[in-house]
Structure 1
């Protein structure tokens, strides 16, 4: 899936589209996305909300994972997303470049960097890991006790 119009249409009514995220380039190993910061994206103190940055990074990494699903895979779940916040913005356009760093049969790892378009300054870096799903894979059982661990159960609502 590399047609940008198709990808942007796919996300139009999802969180990425509602936040105004635009997917600008989709390559095999790198995804470029951007968004214009509006008052909707700001905290009451006037700075971009961290969750907006997370949504931009996770969306770019997710499109990358979709574009790089192994043969036979039916989807993926983001299982880890670690931020390093280095700065902030009050407005303007921010850019995200997500690059694949590890491609396995059962997982992918992506690194995303968000920068301010006008200054080029990096404001956040994210590490995202995706678990690849295959048809017929056993569904994880819901966590039922405090002794359940991620190895024995995943909490699903």
Structure 2
């Protein structure tokens, strides 16, 4: 079900100056039922308390799951929209690279469900994320 025209370079071009591009998100791998991405933690991504802002983690996980959805749109679909998302935060990072792996849980004709794990540079889990995407025909 993976569309053959979906490559990391495609997503670099697609995101351009949009929010994921401004955060420096890079897609690092795409395969059937899986997409990986990463971003470098910057000081401006931290909350006033000195820890990584939750929105920065969600941006990475949600973008990876969204890009994975685009890469796995069924024939005849024109787009998608997120109808639910949830995050559990298990840790934080103040610097280094965050890595995300989004894995398909369900690839249906009308919905897709993706789980994503975000890890810090030390490979510790920072967050567990899950979203449901509605496929737009």
TM-score, length-normalised on structure 2?
0.94
Higher RCO, 1 vs 2 (CA within 8 Å, ≥6 residues apart): 2
CA distance in 1, matches of 2:81, 2:7: 22
1:4 Cα offset (Å): 1.6
**Among 121, 132, 136, which residue is 1:133 paired with?**
136
**Among 51, 56, 69, which residue is 1:65 paired with?**
69
CA distance in 2, matches of 1:97, 1:73: 24
Unaligned runs of 5+ in 1: 135-157
**Among 76, 80, 91, which residue is 1:87 paired with?**
91
Q: Equivalent residues in 2 for 1:35-54 (5 A)?
A: 35-54=39-58
The reply to whether residue 121 of structure 1 matches residue 124 of structure 2 is yes
Partner residue in 2 for 1:138: none
Contact 1:32 1:60 in 2 (8 A): yes
> Whose Rg is larger?
1
Aligned-residue RMSD, C-alpha: 0.8
TM-score, length-normalised on structure 1?
0.82
Unaligned runs of 5+ in 2: none
Partner residue in 2 for 1:25: 29
CA distance in 2, matches of 1:87, 1:3: 30
Structure 1 residue runs of 4 or more that deviate by more than 3 Å after TM superposition: none
